[in-house]
């Protein structure tokens, strides 16, 4: 039996998509080449007419190491195909631009990653795309916004940084009824905990900078879906507009996939412990973590996510000064704006990742000055709990 024929998810994370060279290397090879040579002029001509499975032309179009990464991700997501990009944003931008034309209508949730919000609010309207933003947790808003004539629906669940949960089955159903395409940015929920395709998404996008690399080394992204979309709509757009990933970065991602599930499970278990610890502290007003009983959509979260993810958000009493005292008192958590790193991270969204928004926009999303986002890393949970409690005492 070929390793690709085994059905276990973790088995696929280690073996799917592997292409071995004549040397039989164990670890996947890095094909650090931008071009490929042909045996004859005739071969070059025929490859430009029809490029076969194991044939390549130019690294902006495809590369053997990148192809291994794409095939492994597609196998894990349970979809036909994928196309890797230089960053998560290249994946989001490429997908929306490949799909939408002037006069088309896009419905999107408002609680998006800052750069995604920039694309839907500031870029797409410049090219004549009509965009309607909705509150993702409000079923009625989705219902009235997704009307006939809608071309695509874009959302992120769980959202960043307030960890709102959107009912994917409901939105997928509305999207299907009007013949639109549902695009889900699944970066925060992770491919380990949320099988977005099974919940009705047509296209799933990852910033692989996050859990796939998981060790804070490099940028990457991927778009996953049916072959028809990936090869006929996305690939022609992205290969000519230059969103390709470096073969070296694709190799990092490929190796990251081997351990992604182990890391995510450990980090999610730690995140839950940190959330429970923070929730019982007198200096904390509120904790947001999808699988905590106090989360407003806990039932939905446990229904569509196997675990609550690796990120939690808390609000300390006393606004910005208290939040800064808490952040500065931490010693193990690093002050940074990424998440899903092996090293635990603390972020103050209002003054960093979401600084660009107006106060009204921030409050609309629930990002008050006391809000702090925490990404649980791979350190010993006991050490992280000590650091967290000490810093909360210092608030």
The yes or no reply on residue 326 touching ligand PLP (CB under 6 A) is no
The yes or no reply on residue 87 touching ligand PLP (CB under 6 A) is yes
The yes or no reply on residue 207 touching ligand PLP (CB under 6 A) is yes
Q: 185, 315, 369, 387: which one contacts ligand PLP (CB under 6 A)?
A: 185
Query: Phi first, then psi: what are they for 335, rounded to 5°?
Result: -80, 115
Distance, CA of 164 to CA of 134 (rounded, Å): 13
Q: 75, 116, 133, 372: which one contacts ligand PLP (CB under 6 A)?
A: 116
Q: 188, 223, 268, 316: which one contacts ligand PLP (CB under 6 A)?
A: 188
User: CB of 188: closest distance to ligand PLP in angstroms?
Assistant: 5
Distance, CA of 378 to CA of 266 (rounded, Å): 7
The yes or no reply on residue 209 touching ligand PLP (CB under 6 A) is yes
> If phi over 0 gives left and psi between -120 and 50 gives alpha, with beta otherwise, what is residue 37?
beta
Among the listed ranges 62-70, 113-121, 361-369, 385-393, the one in contact with ligand PLP (CB under 6 A) is 113-121
DSSP letter for 245, please. P
Which two three-digit tokens encode residue 357? 């928004």
End-to-end C-alpha distance for the chain, whole angstroms: 59
145 SS3 class: helix
Residue 122 CB neighbours (<10 A): 10
User: CB of 220: closest distance to ligand PLP in angstroms?
Assistant: 7
User: CB of 129: closest distance to ligand PLP in angstroms?
Assistant: 19
Query: Phi first, then psi: what are they for 184, rounded to 5°?
Result: -120, 125
The yes or no reply on residue 395 touching ligand PLP (CB under 6 A) is no
User: CB of 209: closest distance to ligand PLP in angstroms?
Assistant: 4
The yes or no reply on residue 221 touching ligand PLP (CB under 6 A) is yes
Q: 89, 129, 222, 260: which one contacts ligand PLP (CB under 6 A)?
A: 89
Number of residues that bind ligand PLP (CB under 6 A): 17
User: CB of 187: closest distance to ligand PLP in angstroms?
Assistant: 4
Strand order in the sheet with 334-335: 284-288, 311-316, 371-375, 345-347, 334-335
Q: Is 221 or 309 the residue whose CB approaches ligand PLP more closely?
A: 221
Which two three-digit tokens encode residue 392? 């909360």
134-163 positions binding ligand PLP, by CB under 6 A: 156, 160
Query: Phi first, then psi: what are they for 346, rounded to 5°?
Result: -125, 140
The yes or no reply on residue 187 touching ligand PLP (CB under 6 A) is yes
Least Cα distance to 71 among 58, 60, 59, 80 occurs for 80
What are the residues facing 101 on neighbouring strands? none
Q: Is 116 or 274 the residue whose CB approaches ligand PLP more closely?
A: 116
309 SS3 class: coil
Among the listed ranges 29-37, 84-92, 134-142, 383-391, the one in contact with ligand PLP (CB under 6 A) is 84-92
5-64 positions binding ligand PLP, by CB under 6 A: none
Distance, CA of 197 to CA of 203 (rounded, Å): 8
Which residue is at the shortest CB distance from ligand PLP?
Answer: 88
Residue 180 CB neighbours (<10 A): 23
Where on the chain is the footprint of ligand PLP (CB under 6 A)?
Answer: 87-89, 92, 113, 115-116, 156, 160, 185, 187-188, 207, 209-210, 219, 221
């Amino acid at each position: 039996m070929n390793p690709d024929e085994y059905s276990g998810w973790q088995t696929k994370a280690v073996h799917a998509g592997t292409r071995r060279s004549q040397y039989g290397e164990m670890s996947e090879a890095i094909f650090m080449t931008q071009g490929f040579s042909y045996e004859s002029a005739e071969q070059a001509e025929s490859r430009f007419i029809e490029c076969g499975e194991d044939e390549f032309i130019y690294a902006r179009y495809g590369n053997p190491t990148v192809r291994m990464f794409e095939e492994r991700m597609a196998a894990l997501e349970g979809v036909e195909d994928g196309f890797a990009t230089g960053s998560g944003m290249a994946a989001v931008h490429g997908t929306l631009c490949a799909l939408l034309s002037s006069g088309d209508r896009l419905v999107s949730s408002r609680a998006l990653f800052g750069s995604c919000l920039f694309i839907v609010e500031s870029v797409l309207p410049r090219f004549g795309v009509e965009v309607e933003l909705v509150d993702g947790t409000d079923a009625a808003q989705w219902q009235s916004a997704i009307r006939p004539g809608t071309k695509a629906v874009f959302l992120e669940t769980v959202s960043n940084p307030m960890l709102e949960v959107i009912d994917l089955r409901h939105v997928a159903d509305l999207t299907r009824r009007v013949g639109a395409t549902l695009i889900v940015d699944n970066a925060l929920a992770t491919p380990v905990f949320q099988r977005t395709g099974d919940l009705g998404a047509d296209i799933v996008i990852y910033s692989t900078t996050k859990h796939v690399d998981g060790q804070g080394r490099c940028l990457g992204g991927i778009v996953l879906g049916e072959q028809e979309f990936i090869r006929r709509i996305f690939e022609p757009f992205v290969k000519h507009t230059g969103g390709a990933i470096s073969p070296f970065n694709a190799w990092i991602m490929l190796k990251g996939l081997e351990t992604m599930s182990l890391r995510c499970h450990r980090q999610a278990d730690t995140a839950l412990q940190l959330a429970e610890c923070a929730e019982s502290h007198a200096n904390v007003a509120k904790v947001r973590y999808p699988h905590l009983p106090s989360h407003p959509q806990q039932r939905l979260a446990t229904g569509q996510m196997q675990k609550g993810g690796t990120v939690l958000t808390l609000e300390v009493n006393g606004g910005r000064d208290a939040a800064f005292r808490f952040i500065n008192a931490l010693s193990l958590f690093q002050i940074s704006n990424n998440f899903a790193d092996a090293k635990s991270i603390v972020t103050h969204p209002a003054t960093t990742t979401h600084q660009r928004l107006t106060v009204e926009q921030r409050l609309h999303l629930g990002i008050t000055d006391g809000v702090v986002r925490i990404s649980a890393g791979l350190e010993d949970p006991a050490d992280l709990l000590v650091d967290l409690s000490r810093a909360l005492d210092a608030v």
